Structure 1
Amino acid sequence: MAEGINESIIPINIEDEMRGAYIDYSMSVIISRALPDVRDGLKPVHRRVLFGMQELGVHYNKSYKKSARIVGEVLGKYHPHGDTSVYDTMVRMAQEWSLRYPLVDGQGNFGSIDGDSPAAMRYTEARLKRISEELLNDINKETVDFEPNFDDSLKEPSVLPAKLPTLLLNGAAGIAVGMATNMAPHNLREVVDGICAYIDNKEITVSELMQFITAPDFPTGGTIYGYSGVKNAYETGKGRVIMRAKATTETTKTGREQIVVTEIPYQVNKASMIEKTAQLVNEKRLEGISDIRDESDRNGLRIVYELKRDAISNIVLNNLYKHTQLQSSFGINNVALVKGRPQILNLKDMIQHFVDHRHDVIVRRTEFELREAMKRAHILEGLLIALDNLDEVIKLIRESRDPEIAREGLMSNFNLSEIQARAILDMRLQRLTGLERDKIVNEYEEVKATIKELEFILANEDKRMQIIKDELLEVKEKYGDERRTDIVHSAEDFKMEDMIPNEEMVITISHEGYIKRTPLTDYRTQGRGGVGSRGATSKTEDFTEHLFVGWTHNYLLIFTEFGKVFWLKVYEIPEGSKTAKGRPIQNLINIEQGDSVRSVINVESLEDEDYINNNYLMMCTLKGTIKKTSLEAYSRPRQNGINAITINEGDHLLNVELTNGDNHIILAAQSGRAIHFHETDVRPMGRTAAGVRGITLASEEDSVVGMVCVAKEDAQLLVVSEKGYGKRSDVSEYRITKRGGKGVKTINVTEKTGKLVAIKLVTDADDLMIINKSGITIRMEVENLRVMGRATQGVRLIKLGEGDEISSVEKIEKMEEEVPTSEESGEEASHNPEAEEKPNEE
């Protein structure tokens, strides 16, 4: 006997058993208890309460029934859990401070905002609210799947047809295993407008939807303070919304000030909040309050904070927000079941799933109505045949021994179906009158028209979408109301950019490090042939070194001789006139003593991942080293800058260019030689790498003067020497070699020309701004420079004064403008360049 018992015992690893059992439990909690379905926005218990109430017949226009009767119905038929869980659910669905649109109409004590318990279910009564009928409509038209209840004795709906987007309207809260949900309620009018906008344009973005659905709308009103949390929640499904009470300051007859609160944040227990506030006042942690009274009554909520005579109401109110639940946060976490799986949803996802569900319901409803209409049409056709052959039908029936023989006789004689024959036998004699016959004919015509309309709906998706919209607009008209929760933007919502228009600015940086920005509109084109004008007032020995155009919201990446990079928003640069000196750059960025700016890159965005991962920074040093690094490595701004490249002793950073990964690189040296190779010869390196050899210099004294990145086939190279000579040649004249070589001759360097000082990539559409060491600037058109051979010495570009030399050459885009008058010819040239060095946009 004992052996038999032992044989039936199966040894199981307790760890495996625990794991399996816990996973089953977790799934049960996630699917069947804690999370709402994305389609009807309800958890199983809510769905069962509403369906149970409908089955019991407690509609909005019928009399109330005892809550215990309803709970018993739901408990016995659909929800085999504790009666408290069902009653608490029903109570919450009746509380207007818990649900934005209550679904149950309660009579009796259903609790209060102070946290009071509702009366026992034997004392209270309930029925459905009218709005709940919109969730249950069409449930008997095979619009949703039904599944067996817990004991397989009945069927219950797996989801409701839900004409309303309940998930958005009333939100949801639940703690499952390993996940939780907390969804905010919204305003019906806004949600319907948002859904209609989505139906009109399925490609609509979340930010466009937010023009319709502005923010959550809490049942207790209050104020949403700050918009960034709302934006995050709508875009990602997660966000933190700060809620504040609505408070005003009143003066009593005695002249004392008092703060009056008329709306409090959602889910805050009023009595508990007042109690905790009084405690803080007693502990002297809240100053300036002499008395707190709750004056709430049936007309609404009213909490009065009496202030001391010397108290400043604004300071007291801000302290109340800081230390009490007059300010509280709502952590949005949009987790719902999509096809039985929990998912985090953004605003558009929730709308999309609701529209898909409604579309499915309408298709199923139309199919059901079509089947019913066709059945009716079939019967009416039979009745019309009988009426057309009335005498024979009556004769046949009278001569038949029993109904079965009559039915068979009708079917064989008049070619009728069994259903039609039964309908004829069931027909009352009064239907034989002329008037009743007309009614049958009219009904048949109506049914045929209905069938045609239903078939059109099933064949046309646009028509179905229009039905969804029409039904939603009807619901909006019936139940829509004004917003209760205001939105107040906090300081953190406003970035500096929001206050500053995004305008084009000319940015100039002088050799000694003075920086300024000037609106592009301040520059005007001058007549050609002038000797230029003084662009910036600076010390005699100072001159403008960098000059380019950027938008006020752009980032500037500022690279220094020592190999560091700093970030600066264009709007952070002080604005000044054309002749203003500007501010020392050291005042704006933490640049070391002795270091100076070598290159400035104007970057459109550091947030766009596609942009920063597919663009590179190509760096070149005085001694011919080059390095390529992804822009992504420089996309996290730091106050004190970071090392952009490791610089070897005796060298310094000369130039930095933005490339797209597929450019040609040309380096030129003072000795007049240049090397041309493809960017792919330089592999991308880390941010702190030192780089590789780009060009072998002719001598110890020789150094690199510049680097260009070639992206356009039709571009030409412009070279300028220090004595004012220059020329342009086709890029194709420079043969492609491997990096690291000595290069080929780019200009014939003689004593007359002086050393090479600049190399630029130009087209006929460019102008040149030539800057002398004396500070004089002159603008000239590139198209007037002849294209010449690579090894020539070039032509004189500019007449230099005694001892003067060219310090730098900037390329700027030509602007199509009218030729100015002679008075203006002395003004500095206007220009509209892209950033000085953005070859991949040239």
Structure 2
Amino acid sequence: MAENQSKIQELTLEDIMGDRFGRYSKYIIQERALPDVRDGLKPVQRRILFAMNKDGNTHDKAFRKSAKSVGNVMGNFHPHGDSSIYEALVRMSQDWKLRVPLIEMHGNNGSIDNDPPAAMRYTEARLSEAAEEMLNDIDKETVDMVLNFDDTEYEPTVLPARFPNLLVNGATGISAGYATEIPPHNLGEVIDAVLYMIKHPNPTLDKLMEFVKGPDFPTGGIIQGLSGLKQAYKTGKGRIVVRSKTKIEELRGNKQQIQISEIPYEVNKAMLVKKIDEIRVMKKVDGIAEVRDESDRDGLSIAIELKKDVDAQGILNYLFKNTDLQVSYNFNMVAINHLRPERMGLKDIIQAYVEFQKEVITKRTRFNLKKAEDRLHIVAGLIKALSILDQVIKTIRGSKDKKDAKQNLVSNFEFSERQAEAIVSLQLYRLTNTDVTELKKEAQQLNDSIATYNKILENPNELSKVLSSELRQIKKKYATPRLSEIQEQIEELVVDRTITVPEEQVMVLVSQSGYLKRSSLRSYKASFEEDGLKDGDFAVFKKELSTLDHLLMFTNKGNLIYRPVHEISEARWKDTGEHISQTIGLDDDEIILEAYNVKDFKQPIAFLIATSDGYIKQTALADFKPGRTYRKKATMFIKLKTDAATVVKVAMLSEKGHRGTIFLASHNGYGLRYDLLEIPVVGARAAGVKSMDLRDDAVVNFVLVDEDDQIGIITNRGSFKKMRVKEVSVTSRARRGVQILRELKKEPHRIIDIAVVERGQALEVLTSRGMFHDIIPADHPLNERYSNGSFIIDTDSEGTPISMREKELDPTITKS
């Protein structure tokens, strides 16, 4: 009991977890997920090729059941599930995944549509001829062999890999803390780069890239971005763009068709076709008539038939941008180098391969040399024995047994043990005269071979010549023309909005409470001015717009809400529409103050913004360009200094020019006028500069005016006053201004709102009881600056005025 207790160790959980996870990480990095830089294979792939070769399942023999190969690998070398072994076996046979497949397969081995392969009991497999180049010379002690998981057999730590498989077939994998993404390359190009490095041990990357132009995907496609390629080959990490090979064909009836013949590497064709068809069904692009997958045994083909007179190139650009017709490929060239995971550039990978191949040829040559020397020793013994044949026969006949005969030959004629063994094992027919000639000829050949082997081992240049010659033979046998095209620049995809949005004229309405809708002109005309708004709510914006226009909505709390017109929910004109709070959260007391439409954000337009606490600024339209989150979040268009402050007005200053001065009115009855040039243009998040010296007052509104204009003023007591602008002289910004109402000791008038009085326009006053009161300014006389105007609203019955706005006397709506 005490002995058992002494074996129990008290360890912290951190130590145990750290130690165990460290061991596990080391295992999956070295033994599962990452390829070796020398042969480009992961352990499971190496074991499959080795087991099939050992089993004689080679390209020159009949196919064998895949299940047999999987069983061999699982039983002898790879202690994991059969499904992972079979998946690795199948992948090595797929010519759309590997540039040079290592397995030949009969039966369903999956498809580019990501269909699953048939079960291993139905398929047959054998090594491809190229795979045998990977295993060539493995029986000549060229690579280290280690015991398998149950110490019953030996397996290689690496294959001789007589061609640079890591670059040719690429690799993809994820392990603990490391991932790898190496694209396939063209075998001929890679071998040319290896041959160059053998001759010039320290080449520049630019020189190597003269041979290795870039990846060569088995699925073809077009590779864009030479700078990304160079970065990837230099550091092992970089980004390129891979796009489909497409052409636009003319059809009858003024129609066109986009024909796709090659798609990017590892893109699922069925999902790609489905996504393009979804775009057609959802009408995200107006102009696609039909999408067809016309692929057959002759190759891949996708046809996108377009409607009449549409912009085919525009639609193709949209599809490049929004589907896997174009994808980014990110290099991450990580491989196991000297038992450690390492991110390697092109030069490092080729260098590691050349060093390994020199090692393989050195070991093979040593093996061949020893074999030749051993055979020469035997041949020399046989030649000597045949020259003294009668004495040898006499000695053997006089011996008791084989052992004694060998002993006598060694002692009498100075043969070695091995030579004596060869002599006593000699068959009688070999004693003919011709055999001596054959042996002398063999001895000469062996001497020549030994001289060649020694030359290779002693002279590095000779070794390089052998390596180069063998690589050239492999290139001659297996090289194929490049499939992927390489273009220097990544083409910037500009999608014209007219492609994605059919242009039409619609009526758009924005209400003060935050309701938003667009309706067809037909629905608008059929509604007889019935706009569907709730009592007390009114339209702050109502205009006929194009679906390609942009709408900017400004709230009294400094929030800007952006919507492209085509994204506004369509509703009948009689319906209320959607509330902005369904997508963007606003405060309970927040209202839409103004809304404006623009064609694009490049227009030279500025907005004039004023707050109740006396700040003012101009901001350019370009500063309001929406970000990616515009659907869910409002953006700030002015910074409010206090929680109580509100925006009182936002006015658009168009490029056509505007009235030269600004007229501000304060709640306590002060008016101030100065030139617009005094207001600086600042950014969207700025608070602006002082507009008025307020003291205990607040700005109620401003208007843009000329010297000859007239303004209307509505007060809290329901009084309306019309006065000339020139009553208030032009001074400068941030002053208090002059009184524009007569101050009363009892129940003084306070300004609620002001508006410019235009010929042919009415003014509409909204009261606290949700009632609207129309004023026709022409019916009212002009007043002096110190006048309080005349009472027109009965505040007891109609409520206190809240705001006043201009209203067209003619009900027709002007087009934007």
8 Å CA contact 2:224–2:490 kept in 1: the answer is no
Give the corresponding residue for 2:144: 145
1:601 corresponds to: none
Determine the structure 2 residue equivalent to 1:461: 460
How far apart are the structure 2 equivalents of 1:255 and 1:444?
82
Q: Is 1:219 equivalent to 2:200 in the alignment? A: no
Residue 387 of structure 1, CA deviation: 0.5
Q: What stretches of structure 1 move > 6 A for 4+ residues in a row?
A: none
Q: 2:303 aligns to what SS in structure 1? A: strand
Indicate whether 1:68 and 2:67 are aligned: yes
Residue in structure 1 matched with residue 470 of structure 2 by the alignment:
471
* 2:271 counterpart residue number: 272
- Structure 2 equivalent of residue 316 of structure 1: 315
Q: 3-state DSSP class of the match of 2:452?
A: helix
Show CA shifts across 1:466-489 (max 9, x none).
Answer: 111111110000000000000122
1:388 counterpart residue number = 387
Say whether residues 1:162 and 2:161 are aligned partners.
Answer: yes
Give the deviation of 1:11 after TM superposition. 2.2
* Inter-partner Cα distance in structure 1 for 2:323 and 2:273: 9
Cross-structure match for 2:541: none
2:418 and 2:489 mapped to 1: Cα distance? Answer: 71
Alignment match, 1:343: 342
SS in 2 for 1:140: helix
What fraction of aligned residue pairs are identical, expressed as a percent? 47
Displacement of 1:287 in angstroms is 3.0
Larger Rg: 2
Give the letter for the 1:342 counterpart. P
Letter in 1 for 2:132: E
Match of 2:530 in 1: none
Counterpart of 2:258 in 1: which secondary structure?
strand
- After superposition, the Cα gap between the structure-2 partners of 1:398 and 1:111, relative to the gap in structure 1 and judged at 3 Å, is same
Question: Where does residue 570 of structure 2 map in the other structure?
Answer: none
Q: 1:413 to 1:8 in 2, by over 3 A?
A: closer
CA distance in 2 between counterparts of 1:5 and 1:354 reads: 52
Gaps of 5+ in 1: 494-842
Deviations 1:32-70 (Å, cap 9, x if unpaired)?
A: 111111111111011000001001110000011100000
Q: What does residue 119 of structure 1 align with?
A: 118
Alpha-carbon distance between aligned partners in 2 of 1:291 and 1:447, rounded to the nearest angstrom: 72
Counterpart-to-counterpart distance in 1, 2:451 and 2:7: 66
Counterpart secondary structure, 2:210: coil
Task: Give per-residue Cα distances to partners, 1:359-384, cap 9 Å, x unaligned.
Answer: 00000000000000000000001000
Q: What per-residue deviation string (whole Å, max 9, x for no partner) do you get for residues 762-791 of structure 1?
A: xxxxxxxxxxxxxxxxxxxxxxxxxxxxxx
Which residue pairs with 1:676 in the alignment?
none
- Paired residues, what number? 492
1:252 Cα shift?
2.6
- Provide the C-alpha distance between the structure 1 equivalents of 2:88 and 2:67, rounded to a whole number of angstroms: 13
- For residues 416 and 335 of structure 1, the distance between their equivalents in structure 2, rounded to whole angstroms, comes to 57
Paired with 1:260 and 1:468, the residues of 2 have a C-alpha distance of: 45
**Aligned equivalents of 1:476, 1:186: Cα separation in 2:** 13
Post-superposition CA distance 1:549-573 (Å, at most 9, x none):
xxxxxxxxxxxxxxxxxxxxxxxxx
Q: Cα–Cα, structure 1 residues 491 and 333, in superposed 2: closer, same or farther, change >3 Å?
A: closer
The CA deviation at 1:7 is: 5.5
Task: Tell me whether 1:183 sits opposite 2:174 in the alignment.
Answer: no
Specify the alignment match of 1:136 in structure 2.
135
CA contact (8 A) 2:222 2:484 kept: yes
Alignment partners' CA distance in 2, 1:232 and 1:491: 14
- In 1, the alpha carbon distance for the partners of 2:212 and 2:394 equals 70
* Corresponding letter in the other structure for 2:216: D
Taking the TM superposition and a 5 Å limit, the aligned residue runs for 1:701-716 are none
Q: Does 1:25 align with 2:36?
A: no
Quote how far apart the aligned CAs of 1:398 are: 1.4
CA distance in 2, matches of 1:4, 1:378: 62
How far does the alpha carbon of each residue in 1:162-204 deviate from its partner, in whole angstroms, 9 at most, with x for none?
A: 1110001001111011111100110011111111111111121
Residue 40 of structure 2: aligned partner: 41
Q: CA deviation at 1:19?
A: 1.0
Deviations 1:742-801 (A, max 9, x none): xxxxxxxxxxxxxxxxxxxxxxxxxxxxxxxxxxxxxxxxxxxxxxxxxxxxxxxxxxxx
How far is the alpha carbon of 1:312 from its aligned partner? 1.5
Instruction: Tell me, in whole angstroms, the C-alpha distance in 2 between the residues paired with 1:65 and 1:451.
Output: 40
AA matched with 1:222: G
Q: Partner of 1:401 in structure 2?
A: 400
Q: Distance in 2 between matches of 1:491 and 1:136?
A: 40
Report matched runs for 1:434-833 at 5 Å: 434-490=433-489
The answer on 1:375 being equivalent to 2:374 is yes
418 and 274 in structure 1: CA distance in 2 versus 1, 3 angstrom threshold: same
Deviation at 1:72, TM superposition (A): 0.1
Aligned counterparts of 1:287 and 1:35: Cα–Cα separation in 2: 46
On the 8 A contact 2:365/2:456 being kept in 1, the answer is yes
TM-score, L = length of structure 1: 0.58
Query: CA–CA distance in 2 between the matches of 1:152 and 1:254?
Result: 74
**DSSP-derived class of the 2:139 partner:** coil
Q: Is 1:98 aligned with 2:97?
A: yes
1:491, distance to aligned residue in structure 2 (A): 5.7
Which whole-Å CA distance do the structure 2 matches of 1:6 and 1:134 have between them?
Answer: 57
Secondary structure class of the residue paired with 1:320: helix
Counterpart of 2:173 in 1: which secondary structure? strand
CA–CA separation in structure 1 for the residues paired with 2:3 and 2:407: 67
| Cα distance between partner residues in 1 of 2:342 and 2:25 | 16
Q: Distance in 2 between matches of 1:234 and 1:10?
A: 50
Give the secondary-structure state (helix, strand or coil) at the position aligned to 2:218.
coil
Q: Secondary structure at the match of 2:365?
A: helix
Letter of the 1:19 counterpart: G
Task: Look up the match of 1:236.
Answer: 235
Cα distance in 1 for partners of 2:323, 2:491 equals 21
C-alpha distance in 1 between matches for 2:347 and 2:335 = 14
Q: Which amino acid aligns with 1:202?
A: P
Q: Read off the aligned partner of 1:359 and give its amino acid letter.
A: K
Alpha-carbon shift at residue 156 of structure 1 (Å): 0.2
* Residues in 1 aligned to 2:249 and 2:40: alpha-carbon distance in whole angstroms: 42
Q: CA deviation at 1:277?
A: 1.5
Secondary structure of 1:293's counterpart equals: strand
Residue aligned with 2:329, SS: strand
Report the CA distance between 1:401 and its aligned residue.
1.7
The match for 2:52 is 53
- Matches of 1:263 and 1:460, distance apart in 2: 48
Deviation by residue 1:690-731 (Cα, 9 ceiling, x = unmatched): xxxxxxxxxxxxxxxxxxxxxxxxxxxxxxxxxxxxxxxxxx
User: Residue 241 of structure 2 contacts residue 490 of structure 2 at CA under 8 Å; is this kept in 1?
Assistant: no
1:446 alignment partner AA: Q
Deviation at 1:5? 6.4
Residue aligning to 1:594: none
Distance between the aligned counterparts of 1:317 and 1:490, measured in 2? 18
| Equivalent position of 2:295 in the other structure | 296
Q: Following TM superposition, by how much is the alpha carbon of 1:280 offset from its aligned partner in structure 2, in angstroms?
A: 2.0
Cα deviation, residue 249, structure 1: 1.3
1: CA distance between counterparts of 2:475 and 2:72? 32
* Change in 2 beyond 3 A, CA 1:491/1:371: closer
Distance 2:236 2:98 in 1: 21
Structure 1 residue 394: deviation in Å? 1.0
Q: What is the root-mean-square deviation of aligned Cα atoms in Å?
A: 1.3
CA contact (8 A) 2:224 2:491 kept: no
The whole-number CA distance in structure 2 between the counterparts of 1:200 and 1:383 is 44
For residue 105 of structure 1, give the secondary structure of its aligned residue in structure 2.
Answer: strand
Q: Contact between 2:254 and 2:309, CA under 8 Å: does it hold in 1?
A: no
Structure 2 match to 1:609: none
Distance (whole Å) between structure 1 residues aligned to residue 10 and residue 286 of structure 2? 68
Change in 2 beyond 3 A, CA 1:199/1:5: closer
* Counterpart Cα distance in 1 of 2:393 and 2:8: 77
1:204 matched residue in structure 2: 203
Tell me how far apart the structure 2 counterparts of residues 8 and 421 of structure 1 sit (CA, whole Å): 59
CA shift digits 1:676-698 (9 cap, x unpaired): xxxxxxxxxxxxxxxxxxxxxxx
- What is the CA deviation profile of residues 417-467 of structure 1, one whole-angstrom value per residue up to 9, with x for unaligned ones? 010001001111111111122111101111111111101110000111111
**Deviation of residue 8 (structure 1)?**
4.8
Gaps of 5+ in 2: 493-816
Question: Cα offset for 1:255?
Answer: 4.2
Match in the other structure for 1:590: none
Given residue 290 of structure 1, which amino acid in structure 2 is its aligned partner? A
Equivalent position amino acid for 1:435 in 2: T
